[in-house]
Structure 1
Amino acid sequence: MPVLEISDLITAVDPQSGHRLPVSRAEVIRLLDEAGDARAARIVAGLPTDRDGLLDPDAVDRLLVSVHAELQRLSEELRIGERLVHLLGPLFQAIRATSGPGRYRLVDVGCGLGYAVRWLAATNALGPDVELVGVDLDAALVTEAGRLARAEGLDCHFVHGNAFDLPEAATVYISTGVLHHFRGPALSEFFRSQAASPAQAFCHFDIAATRLAPVGAWIFHLARMRHPLGRHDGVASARRAHSDETLLRAAAVPGITPLLYEPRGAANPFCTTLRPIIGVRPHLEDPFRRSLGRAARRLVGPDYLTGPTR
């Protein structure tokens, strides 16, 4: 049976216009019951509705902002900012070496409350020539991200919409905890959208698909999350994580060289929680590896899929 996340079901947005769509609580419960997830169905049954049985959008927004605020603790404890800079620093160094001085643009896809973008802005870790933008289809999350950035006096901004339909394209796309939401052909289409853009590279962190991941997610979310929805979806995310092989195959789209950093077979399963799939234009691979230095040994490419143990 499919593993479903409640947060994916209780909001709906028109991907073209970005307009909020009504969601029937009964329909969400039906989907969860069909997936064999009675616990999730009970959680949704407790959410408020209007007279027609449609979920109260304001209540849903408040809940999701609250859950994402708690999720920020996960990003802090896993040192997501430092992990991003470990790779993005050398990546932008390679881009500057091949493109020359200019203005570059980093776009965080599905930014949520914008923790990654706000951390990069607060530390100025990538330099003043990198514009920082967060994009999300959820208007409530983007609004809160913008409020936090203003309160913190940060030089970054947030956009409600589709990250691949912005007036100005990204130089580099990033995301954290987004890839497992794309299933089947949608995962390859996600990477094809970036390859079809003028972007030079992408770097997407997501949960490493290890046997310990669901257990670790359960322990962390039980300790850190107050609402049952956050606890449920944290474990569901770990169960939906894509394998290294799935990510490498999906990211192997025309015009992009896919690279996986710290693949499962070369990492300690007790320490590995998130790992990135990186994609670069072919001319950037060698400069990127040189900029990484000794850490480049942790990169594997498409040949990882055809090695003797695969």
Structure 2
Amino acid sequence: MDRLEISDLIVAFDPHDGRRLPVRRAEVVEQLRAAGDARAARIVAGLPAGPDGVLEPAAVDRLLIGVHTELQRLSEELRIGRRLVHLLGPLLTAIRTTGVRGPYRLVDVGCGLGYLIRWLAATGALGPDVELVGVDLDAALVGEADRLARAEGLSCRFVHGDAFALPEAATVYVSTGVLHHFSEPALADFFRAQGASPALAFCHYDIAATGLAPVGAWVFHRARMRHPLGRHDGVASARRAHSDEALLRAAAAAGMRALLYEPRRAANPFCTTLRPVLAVRPPLEAPLRAALGRASRRLLGDEHFTPAAA
């Protein structure tokens, strides 16, 4: 059985207005025990709760900010920013060549502490005509991301709320480490929302579903994460990763040209940690491939995957 992630269970938000909802510790513990994850149940049982049994929001916020801070160190080691620029640079070049005028708005969905947006702002890697926006449903994480950006003097912004309900439309949606949080039907809805928006493309990086992924996640998180929650969720994330075929099936719901870059069959499993699924409006595919040059050979659509492999 795939493990649940503790961080998904100890915070809850109203889907309509983003208001934080109370979470009862005993209910989360029981849910984890029912899933057969006694270790995770013990971790949650040790978290602070009030007399009514509701997990203390301030304590949960401190914990999640600490865990996300450690995740940022992993992002630095895995060179997440440079990996995204490797594709986002040519993608924005393709958009510019089609005559679409800037500024272009890049929206990071589920930005957490905003590492990617802050890295892009600090390096200027995508150019001065790209507006950088991070969005997350967790107000505490967004608040910390905004604090860090102001302390670093960066030109970017962070928004608490729904990334698909912003008053200004995105040009490109991105994310890192978000897709595995969705079931496949919910993932299709996630992509469908982007296809229904005015966005021209999306590019989402997530854990590659290889046999080595859980082992690699255990090693990385054991070495870099101090809190048991971070270590647990890191391995659970790898076990929940979607296959290449599942990602392409879900991304097709956007009604755009869905592609995988360096899918499992085309990469060394010992080196593959993250890989992106992306989709572009049909007129953008040829300019994107031209901008990528020889690297465009690593970009594969569903025609390269047989039904038997699905």
User: Which interval holds the TM-score relative to the shorter structure?
Assistant: over 0.9
Moved more, 11-20 or 142-151: 11-20
Alpha carbons of structure 1 residues 309 and 161: separation in structure 2 relative to 1, 3 Å: closer
Q: Supply the AA of the counterpart residue of 1:269.
A: P
Alpha carbons of structure 1 residues 25 and 309: separation in structure 2 relative to 1, 3 Å: closer
Secondary structure of the equivalent of 2:112? coil
**1:236: which partner in 2?**
236
Q: Supply the AA of the counterpart residue of 1:189.
A: D
Q: Is the 8 A contact 1:188 1:251 kept in 2?
A: yes
Deviations 1:46-82 (A, max 9, x none): 0000001000000000000000000001100000000
Q: Which residues of 2 match residues 79-228 of structure 1 at below 5 A?
A: 79-228=79-228
CA drift of 1:101 comes to 3.2
Q: Is the 8 A contact 1:203 1:279 kept in 2?
A: yes
CA drift of 1:103 comes to 1.1
CA drift of 1:38 comes to 0.2
Deviations 1:105-154 (A, max 9, x none): 00000000000000000011111111000000000000000000000000
**1:289: which partner in 2?**
289
Secondary structure of the equivalent of 1:127? coil
Deviations 1:237-292 (A, max 9, x none): 00000000000010012530001000101100100000000110011001000000
CA drift of 1:309 comes to 6.6
**1:63: which partner in 2?**
63
Q: Is the 8 A contact 1:255 1:282 kept in 2?
A: no
Secondary structure of the equivalent of 2:173? strand
C-alpha distance in 1 between matches for 2:11 and 2:169: 27
Alpha carbons of structure 1 residues 85 and 254: separation in structure 2 relative to 1, 3 Å: closer
Q: Is the 8 A contact 2:169 2:197 kept in 1?
A: yes
Q: Is it true that 1:6 corresponds to 2:6 in the alignment?
A: yes
**1:40: which partner in 2?**
40
C-alpha distance in 2 between matches for 1:29 and 1:238: 22
C-alpha distance in 2 between matches for 1:309 and 1:160: 39
CA drift of 1:184 comes to 2.9
CA RMSD in angstroms, aligned pairs only? 1.1
Q: Is it true that 1:252 corresponds to 2:278 in the alignment?
A: no
Alpha carbons of structure 1 residues 240 and 62: separation in structure 2 relative to 1, 3 Å: same
C-alpha distance in 2 between matches for 1:57 and 1:254: 36
Length-normalised TM-score, structure 2: 0.98
Alpha carbons of structure 1 residues 215 and 299: separation in structure 2 relative to 1, 3 Å: same
Q: Is it true that 1:74 corresponds to 2:74 in the alignment?
A: yes
CA drift of 1:307 comes to 7.5
**1:300: which partner in 2?**
300
Length-normalised TM-score, structure 1: 0.98
Unaligned runs of 5+ in 2: none
CA drift of 1:3 comes to 1.7
Q: Is the 8 A contact 2:194 2:254 kept in 1?
A: no
Alpha carbons of structure 1 residues 289 and 46: separation in structure 2 relative to 1, 3 Å: same
Moved more, 57-66 or 180-189: 180-189
**1:276: which partner in 2?**
276
Q: Is the 8 A contact 2:106 2:130 kept in 1?
A: yes
C-alpha distance in 2 between matches for 1:304 and 1:163: 31
* Percent of aligned positions that are identical: 75
